[in-house]
Structure 1
Amino acid sequence: MKYIVVLGDGMADEPIKELDNKTPLMVADTPQMDLLAKKSELGLAYTIPEGMKPGSDTANLAVLGYNPRIYYSGRSPLEALSIGVDLKPTDIAIRCNIVSLSDDDKPYEEKTILDHSSGEISTKDAAVLIDAVRKELENDLYKFYVGTSYRHLTIWDQGEVIDLVPPHDILGKVIGEYLPEDNALKELMKKSYDILNNHPINIERKEKGLNVANSIWFWGAGTRPALTSFEEKNHKRGAMISAVDLLKGIAVGAKMKVIEVPGADGTLHTNYEGKAMAAVKVLLEDDYDFVYIHVEAPDEMGHQGNVANKIKAIEFLDQRVIKLVYEAMKKSGVDFRLLVMPDHPTPIWCRTHTSDPVPYILYDSTKEQDNQWMYNEVEAKATGYVVDKGYEMVNKLFDNQ
């Protein structure tokens, strides 16, 4: 038996007025997911433990079977593992986004955050900007590391875990009251604006009408994580396919195989087919037991508040990942179980994550069901199946209940 998770990050949503009070999942053309829903268990899962913040970190840990209350030590340390930064016990890892702030004459504190991703800036351009920041601001206490696209890393030696506001939670707001209370971190952010706003890359971006990448933004502080090996925990050899450092970091911490797919970049136009075929290969040719396919695009479109592109991202996931994996596994004749779900909702109306339960499909090629469900939030609720502890989903997938 082979085991597959296809994770559509932030795919779940709430009814949207301009969609006749339907969700993107309800409107999207998803024949493959709807076919699976008719042959599978359909239900809702709570992936965010009560009282914890609804992040992709806590949610994906849960879907992978790690109770966030036990294993979560912050988002950025997981990303540090992916980048290859070996954290000392005294190190604090901090996510360092490159964001777009309003380009005006107002003081830094009075600027507005326009885009948490700087228009999904390329890693190539972002690396140049982070290098410019590094040359001016790096010292013995603060080190800067390049990640992927807008997502980068700062290591604070002898630091402390403090509350820092995620930039995607305050889009369109004046930043003053959301800046770090720690004066040193705040000064680094302010100085980064002076370094970046008129950098040649941003002058070119302005000329092209693109969002400028004119400030760093700190959030997600944490300490070195300690995850139990996925194989030791589940007696399954596991692999991770994702373009996002967070997911790769979780996999490194869990001693899973990390598969790099050319062209996989976490955007709407990622290499969907490459991810699907890499998953099939690692299961059938490399003889791994479990693969986790993470697709970031629905979440990014939710953060951007782009309804049309969120629908498109869901349709791409359906036809260019799930359909290809399902058909290849069927053709192989190998028994498999397939779990399709989001990690959390990223509703268009708020452009950030919520803690609401998410719809899941759990398919077993050896025990196909026969029902009339469609895959969306409303019908998943109507089935009455509820998984209260999201970190038990892996046990359901492995049929270890």
Structure 2
Amino acid sequence: MKYIILLGDGMADEPVQKLEGKTPLEYANTPTMDSLAQCSTIGLVHTIPEGMSPGSDTANLAVLGYDPKKYYTGRSPLEALSIGVDMKESDIAIRCNIVTVSDDDLPYEEKTIIDHSSSEISTEDADILLQAVKAELETDIVRYYTGTSYRHLLIWDNGEVVELTPPHDILGKVIGSYLPNENLLKDMMIKSYEILNNHPVNVERAKKGLNKANSIWFWGAGTKPALDSFEEKNHKKGVMISAVDLLKGIAVGAGLKNIEVEGADGTLHTNYEGKAMAAVKALTEEDYDFAYIHVEAPDEMGHQGSLERKIQAIEYFDARVIKVVKEEMDKARVDYRLLIMPDHPTPIALRTHTSNPVPYMIYDSTRLLEKEWHYNEKDAKNSGNYLEEGYMLLSEFLENRIMN
């Protein structure tokens, strides 16, 4: 038996009036997921523990069977694992986004945050800008590391785990009251605007109609992580397929192999088919039992507040990942199970994450059920299946305990 998790990041949502009260998942044309739902178990699962922030970090840990209350030490330390930073016990890792703040004559504290991803900036452009910041602000105490797209890293020697606000939580808001109370971090953010706003890369971006990547933004501070081996816990040898440093870092910590897919970039136009085929190859041609396919696009479109593009991302996920995986696994004549789900909701109306339960679906190629539902939030709720502790879903998926 082979096991595949297909995760559409931020895919869950709330009913949208423009969609006649349907959610984007309910409205989208998803024939593969709906067909699977009729012979699967569906339900709701709470991936965010009570009292914890609704992030992809805590949620994906839970989906992989790690209790966030036990294993979570912060988001950025997991990303540090992906980048290859060898943290000391005294180090604090902090996410360093390159964001867009308003280009005006107002003091930095009075500017508004426009875009948490700077028009989904390329890693190449972002690296040039981060090197400019690094040249002026890096010291023996703070070190900058390039990640992917807008997502980068600061390591603060003997620092503090200070309270910091995710930029995607305050889109469209004046930033003053959300800046760090810690002066070192705040001063670097202010100086970064002076370094970046008129940088040649941003001058060219503005000419092309792209948002300037004109400020760094710190959030997600944490200490060195320690995850148990996924293989030792679950007796499954696995791979991770994701374009996002957070997921790659979780994989490093858990001992899963990261598979790099050309053209996989975490955007709406990522290489969906390449991700699907990489998983199938690992499971059918190589010595792996488990694959985790992470697709970032629905979450990014949710943060952008783009209803049309979020629906498109969900439809791409259905047609270009799930359908491909199912057809190829069937063709290989290998018994397999699929777990299809989001990690958390990213409602279009809010443009940020929430802690609400998310719909899951478990399909077993050897045990076909006959149901009358579709895969969406409403039918998952109506199924009556509900798991309060999200980290328990993995063992139930692997052990086939809730197939009914």
Q: What does the per-residue CA deviation read over 1:22-43, in whole Å, with 9 as the maximum and x for residues that have no partner?
A: 1100110000000110010010
Q: What does the per-residue CA deviation read over 1:353-372, in whole Å, with 9 as the maximum and x for residues that have no partner?
A: 00000001100111111111
Following the alignment from structure 2 to structure 1, what is the Cα–Cα distance between the partners of residues 20 and 112? 32
Partner of 2:113: 113
Following the alignment from structure 1 to structure 2, what is the Cα–Cα distance between the partners of residues 285 and 387? 34
* Matched residue type, 1:248: K
* Deviation (angstroms), 1:380: 0.6
Using structure 2 for the length normalisation, give the TM-score: 0.99
* Deviation (angstroms), 1:400: 6.1
* Deviation (angstroms), 1:287: 2.2
Secondary structure at the residue paired with 1:398?
helix
Using structure 1 for the length normalisation, give the TM-score: 0.99
The question of 1:34 aligning with 2:34 is answered yes
* Matched residue type, 2:300: E
* Matched residue type, 1:266: G
Partner of 1:22: 22
Give the paired residue count.
401
Q: What does the per-residue CA deviation read over 1:117-172, in whole Å, with 9 as the maximum and x for residues that have no partner?
A: 00000000000000000001000111000000000000000101111000000000
* Deviation (angstroms), 1:387: 1.1
The question of 1:346 aligning with 2:346 is answered yes
Q: What does the per-residue CA deviation read over 1:205-251, in whole Å, with 9 as the maximum and x for residues that have no partner?
A: 11111110000000000000000000011011011000000000000
Following the alignment from structure 2 to structure 1, what is the Cα–Cα distance between the partners of residues 331 and 287? 16
Following the alignment from structure 2 to structure 1, what is the Cα–Cα distance between the partners of residues 136 and 195? 8
Partner of 2:376: 376
Structure 2: where are the runs of 5+ without partners?
none
Following the alignment from structure 1 to structure 2, what is the Cα–Cα distance between the partners of residues 37 and 400? 16
Partner of 2:204: 204
Partner of 2:46: 46
Partner of 1:324: 324
Partner of 1:241: 241
Secondary structure at the residue paired with 1:353?
coil
Following the alignment from structure 2 to structure 1, what is the Cα–Cα distance between the partners of residues 144 and 384? 48
Partner of 2:85: 85
Following the alignment from structure 2 to structure 1, what is the Cα–Cα distance between the partners of residues 255 and 311? 34
Secondary structure at the residue paired with 1:155?
strand
Following the alignment from structure 1 to structure 2, what is the Cα–Cα distance between the partners of residues 256 and 325? 20
Following the alignment from structure 1 to structure 2, what is the Cα–Cα distance between the partners of residues 287 and 311? 35
- Runs ≥4 in structure 1, deviation > 6 angstroms? none
State how 1:214-293 maps to structure 2 within 5 Å. Answer: 214-293=214-293
Secondary structure at the residue paired with 1:298?
helix
Secondary structure at the residue paired with 1:192?
helix
Q: What does the per-residue CA deviation read over 1:13-67, in whole Å, with 9 as the maximum and x for residues that have no partner?
A: 0011111111100110000000110010010000000010000000000000000
Following the alignment from structure 2 to structure 1, what is the Cα–Cα distance between the partners of residues 221 and 215? 18
Structure 1: where are the runs of 5+ without partners?
none
Identity %: 70
Following the alignment from structure 2 to structure 1, what is the Cα–Cα distance between the partners of residues 120 and 6? 23
Partner of 1:165: 165
Following the alignment from structure 1 to structure 2, what is the Cα–Cα distance between the partners of residues 371 and 191? 59
